[in-house]
Structure 1
Amino acid sequence: MARSRIFTRLLLSVSFSLAAGWACAADAVTVGYQTGIDPTKVPQADGAYEKATGRAIQWRKFDSGADLIAAIASGDVAIGNIGSSPLAAAASRGLPIETFLVADEIGSAEALVARNGSGVSKPQDLVGKKVAVPFVSTTHYSLLAALNHWGIPQNQVKVLNLRAGEIAAAWQRGDIDAAYVWDPALGKIKPSGKVLVGSDQVAKWGAPTYDIWVVRKDFAAAHPEFVSRFAKVSLDAIAGYLANPPAFIAKADNIAKISRLTGAAAPDVVAGLKGNRFLGRDEQIALLQSPFVLAVGKTAAFLKSQGKVEALQADYGPYVTNRFVKTSR
């Protein structure tokens, strides 16, 4: 943990010294994404972001928010798709980023699953068991919040740091007893396990999580039109889904494109779309003000109480903006 924090500090120190022209090799903008299931994967597959912005985009796939944050901090990535928990951790450490768009409010698309044969049939059975989760992720935060809700001390559970892509293999080997993760790994482990809780329920307990888009502040300052157009493509995709979710899901091409980018099977893509809540433009404008700032601050405070961040920001407002949603019309 100490080495990880030292490494993070080194990355942050490098990030502050980088000019706004980084992450743009040969005029291409590097954008990091993860395997979360949402409607914006369709325009990503179609090349709509490139067409709208007039720039080449180098899309890089990441297995965890922590890895993506490290790439943003090093200057390798300009825009990234992370969770609200990694954002809270990165903002607490002073990474110069802004949240400019919400991909979704996470629901049952992320869940804690106990492996059949592990001896875990209820939350209290997790004591002494091995539970895998990608550290500093939304599922990590949700796991800690769930344990807190159930009154189970974190030190009584063997929480292991595994990337989402590593969890299914560890599950098959019997190396872990439970895992809190998202698709495609979630879809691979659910058939041989029991869902103990989903992030929709954890949200009702007072710990909501979100998939979001963040941008380096220096890149946003130098290329505001790019960010606005990027936001517009995303919001248009979300609006298309919200206009008629059954029709969107019934279109096989939509499901195939999301499946190809995420690695999730078609049924899991459908479940993921139904398992998250997507927010339209006006709702995002309202959320990306005090409500989301307060949510980030609350997440950060909880992470600090669990020893996952060392210090808190006095104000998380500088890490959230709705100006690009407003200018994306």
Structure 2
Amino acid sequence: MNTTEESLTSLMDSSEATQYSTKYWYTSLLTMYFVISLCVVAGNTLTAIAYFTTPHLQTLQNLVICNLSLADAIIAVLSKPFFALSYTEAGIVFGARHKWVCLVSLWAVMGSGLCGILCVFVLSLERLLAIIFPFRYYTWVTDNSVRAMIVFVWAFAFTLTAFPLMGLNTWTHGARCFTMFVYTPTYNVYVATNLNVLILVAMALMNITIAVVAVKQNKVNIIQSGSTQNTGQYKVTKMLLTVIGVFYLCWIPYIVLTAIFTMTKHLPEWFALLQDLSKLLIGMNSVLNPLIYARGNEKFRAAFARLLRRAPRVSSEV
């Protein structure tokens, strides 16, 4: 037994040692996670740069998209300490011995995750107002109101998830750095689970409404204009509904499996494997978003192409 394994075993009795030790899939999981993280940061940073360096992309709709891209990139960065503390032997020992390291890493990943979900909620809300209230849209959705909403979302997410730092935790020496072991059951149920479910249900209702109304409006526009071409608003709505759909496909497995994992004490090892793999789906969601923007928005596609070709173009001119 090496030093790390001895330290790990010394933190708990022999009956718990197996539960707290690393699993055979951890190395592969970490490798896939870091590859996905690099793709997430690269793609979403490119989206943010495209927004800030392309004047005709700087609309309120695209500001909301840029906000989501920044949230995706930040999730990828802030989740790294959590993965290091949770999926390596040295990290497990370190997190089990150092309370604040564990709590801060969980706060970073929980806060950024909730912020990401709320950013998608804001995206849905913006489209709902544009589709349902087109005549009041520009009165309600202003530069100041959008920026205020973005600031509120970030502040709310990181404040709400900071409660365990303020004492709402059950951390003890030797505890595995997972929310189910260091957060109170009340916090896990009502904040980590129920709040996410409520947001997802609200978004589902909003996006079903958006889809139904958008299809009806597009049919009316086609009949009135005699053209089969989609209107600009319809194209934007179609792209953002694709973003929402992919979001649900990638997040639902994680939320469901994590809820079961948190509320059930004894589960088979294969379930833990599934729950860990579901975390990679969240990363894939953030990888796919920039591709959806490029496919659904010609201006984003052109901006991406310009940025990716910039270095060769500059060198050739010199």
Please, what TM-score do these two structures have when normalized by structure 1? 0.27
Q: Please say which structure displays the higher CA radius of gyration.
A: 2
Identify the structure with the greater helix proportion.
2
Identify the structure with the greater strand proportion.
1
Q: Which has the higher contact order (CA 8 A, sep 6+)?
A: 1
